[in-house]
A and B are shown apart, each in its own frame.
Chain A
């Protein structure tokens, strides 16, 4: 009698059978998922008139456009030359291929960038103020009246779901072209977004201070002011600063619909094909966004960490 091979074992064969079935099921599921993704891709391509061939045909034009963004045609030069060149890098405003020549309207950009940041500051302040006020009636634990909670929550939801650029575009009609429409649009969106986050902080706050104040006869306002606010302030400030970073980005583009800031100037130079200014402004926007992000991260870590 030969030694029983492990493959003769019925439990082994059962294992093989079950494993095979499981594996086939997984393969079929994966295949179906991939097929669904591909079918959707094809359908979406037909719907939007998109094809790789079109991209390939357009690629040279994109390359050409980006090339133009980084080249200049000063008077007396036949062909476009790169926007920067090492020998001229630190030359004066009149010297082509120098940084100063590229950014010759730096003072205009700087003023607009500063306006953009100020728009973001005001919008963040207004938005966090409104969100602060609305977050208490939106917190179910603090309000007995269900209707108040429901209405405030739906209001906050509406504020954050309407795209802010659309809102700015609409507000340009009553408020006129300029930063005001942008500020209000960003502030409304911030109210909705921050209101939700503040509300979550309130939900997680310790209720014992609130009960303590209620037990000595404090009013609802006093309960909120002395029982909740000291607990949630560090979180509120941290979220508000994060929102400020987002709002700086938003205020750079809100000008595309005429609502002020550097975006309005960027749209103008793109429209008039002033290529080297397009790249100059884009670089400045990129720089300012990175700088604000770094600064705000520092503040959040140092100060708010100390408060908490």
Chain B
């Protein structure tokens, strides 16, 4: 007697287990793939493969670091530090603005529905446009340099943090607020002794995380002239100095990894201290 299964018999016994997708499923499948192939044709995707030789030429040039002694290391390192400083300043300005805005946008501080609607839309509007767009606009308004980048980071991050802070304030334990109110505290007392202690750890942790993510974002702000390492990178791409481009990218990756590690350590320490 053979140990194998008789597939045909099983199929007859349990038709639902062997049922295929059905024609509607196949049609959907074909439609999706047809559309994707249409898009590939539309964007001339075949050029990726015909240009692959050029890509390898660039990669080859990127890996040749024989001229490393002649590169302007001082300028690159200064710009890298400038990028980190931009991220820090931008985030700090955003924190200063977002703390009051976060309280104003929380429904348990100001219960008026209309007011809350407008503050929330303001946060959405600040957040909705990318930092690079804000940076481009600020470069036109303020001129080239890190200040445009700092302002772009500050504007977008204000929107992001204000929303998060408002949510944090809304999620606090009401008991402490009621307790403080019961002993006769006004709005200022409630904010300082009932709300702030509950949300402060969240705020600090979020601010640290923002510095981290903005340091990553700030590396590209220079591509539109808003200072930092991106500016150096953009210059080197434009003159096709591929070896230095690779060096700058490595520099960015290392710095971002360093900031990530430091920030994670600080956040963990902070959460540990709170609990």
Cβ-defined contact, A48 with B227, below 8 A: yes
B99 contacts partner chain A, Cβ-Cβ < 8 Å: no
Known: A118-B42, A162-B249. A47 touches B130 (CB 8 A): no
Cβ-defined contact, B223 with A256, below 8 A: yes
Look across to chain A and name the residue whose beta carbon is closest to the beta carbon of B45.
Answer: A180
Residues of A within 8 A of B132 (CB): 165, 253, 256
Residues of B within 8 A of A121 (CB): 36, 39
In the complex, A256→B136 CA distance in Å?
Answer: 9
Cβ-defined contact, A48 with B85, below 8 A: yes
Contact of B128 (CB < 8 Å), options: A163, A179, A290: A290
Look across to chain A and name the residue whose beta carbon is closest to the beta carbon of B141.
Answer: A65
A220 contacts partner chain B, Cβ-Cβ < 8 Å: no
Cβ-defined contact, B40 with A44, below 8 A: no
Cβ-defined contact, B36 with A125, below 8 A: yes
Query: 0/1 per residue, A40-83, Cβ < 8 Å to B?
Result: 11011101111000110010011011100000000000000000
Cβ-defined contact, A165 with B92, below 8 A: no
Cβ-defined contact, A48 with B237, below 8 A: no
Cβ-defined contact, B237 with A169, below 8 A: yes
In the complex, A286→B122 CA distance in Å?
Answer: 12
A285 contacts partner chain B, Cβ-Cβ < 8 Å: yes
> Shortest distance in angstroms between B178's beta carbon and chain A's nearest beta carbon?
26
Contact of A40 (CB < 8 Å), options: B88, B130, B249, B256: B88
Residues of B within 8 A of A41 (CB): 88-89, 92
Residues of B within 8 A of A241 (CB): none
Contact of A49 (CB < 8 Å), options: B145, B224, B240: B145
> Shortest distance in angstroms between A273's beta carbon and chain B's nearest beta carbon?
7
Cβ-defined contact, A122 with B36, below 8 A: yes
Residues of B within 8 A of A138 (CB): none
A15 contacts partner chain B, Cβ-Cβ < 8 Å: no
Residues of B within 8 A of A49 (CB): 145-147
Cβ-defined contact, B234 with A50, below 8 A: no
> Shortest distance in angstroms between A288's beta carbon and chain B's nearest beta carbon?
10
Cβ-defined contact, B130 with A253, below 8 A: yes
B271 contacts partner chain A, Cβ-Cβ < 8 Å: no
A240 contacts partner chain B, Cβ-Cβ < 8 Å: no
Query: 0/1 per residue, A269-285, Cβ < 8 Å to B?
Result: 01001000010001001
Count chain A CB atoms within 10 A of each CB in B150, B220, B230 and give the residue with the most. B220
Cβ-defined contact, A165 with B48, below 8 A: no
In the complex, A290→B125 CA distance in Å?
Answer: 10
Cβ-defined contact, B224 with A256, below 8 A: yes
Residues of A within 8 A of B55 (CB): 171, 174
Cβ-defined contact, A48 with B47, below 8 A: no
- 8 Å CB interface, A252-277 against B: 252-253, 256-257, 266-267, 270, 273
Residues of B within 8 A of A257 (CB): 223
In the complex, A45→B85 CA distance in Å?
Answer: 7
Count chain A CB atoms within 10 A of each CB in B47, B82, B230 and give the residue with the most. B47
Contact of A266 (CB < 8 Å), options: B43, B84, B133: B133
Contact of A166 (CB < 8 Å), options: B81, B92, B146, B220: B220
Residues of B within 8 A of A266 (CB): 133, 136
Cβ-defined contact, B47 with A58, below 8 A: no
Residues of A within 8 A of B219 (CB): 163, 166
Look across to chain B and name the residue whose beta carbon is closest to the beta carbon of A267.
Answer: B136
Cβ-defined contact, A270 with B136, below 8 A: yes
Residues of A within 8 A of B73 (CB): none
Look across to chain A and name the residue whose beta carbon is closest to the beta carbon of B270.
Answer: A33
Contact of A50 (CB < 8 Å), options: B42, B44, B89, B220: B89
Cβ-defined contact, A165 with B220, below 8 A: yes
A183 contacts partner chain B, Cβ-Cβ < 8 Å: yes
Contact of A180 (CB < 8 Å), options: B48, B84, B85: B48
B140 contacts partner chain A, Cβ-Cβ < 8 Å: yes
In the complex, A253→B48 CA distance in Å?
Answer: 21
B163 contacts partner chain A, Cβ-Cβ < 8 Å: no
Cβ-defined contact, A62 with B141, below 8 A: yes
Residues of B within 8 A of A165 (CB): 132, 220, 223
Known: A122-B36, A180-B45. A50 touches B54 (CB 8 A): no
Other than the given A58-B141, A290-B128, 20 more pairs (CB < 8 A) read A37-B92, A44-B84, A44-B85, A44-B86, A48-B227, A122-B36, A163-B220, A165-B132, A170-B237, A173-B237, A174-B52, A174-B55, A174-B58, A176-B47, A184-B48, A252-B130, A252-B133, A256-B132, A267-B136, A282-B133
Of the A-B pairs whose beta carbons lie under 8 Å apart in the complex, a sample of 28, sorted by A's number, is A40-B88, A43-B85, A45-B89, A48-B82, A48-B85, A48-B89, A48-B150, A62-B151, A119-B43, A122-B45, A125-B39, A162-B253, A165-B132, A166-B249, A171-B55, A174-B51, A174-B57, A175-B47, A175-B48, A176-B47, A180-B44, A183-B43, A183-B45, A256-B132, A256-B224, A267-B136, A286-B128, A290-B124
- Contact residues of A with B, CB < 8 Å? 37, 40-41, 43-45, 47-50, 54-55, 58, 61-62, 64-66, 118-119, 121-122, 125, 161-163, 165-166, 169-171, 173-176, 179-180, 183-184, 249, 252-253, 256-257, 266-267, 270, 273, 278, 282, 285-286, 289-290
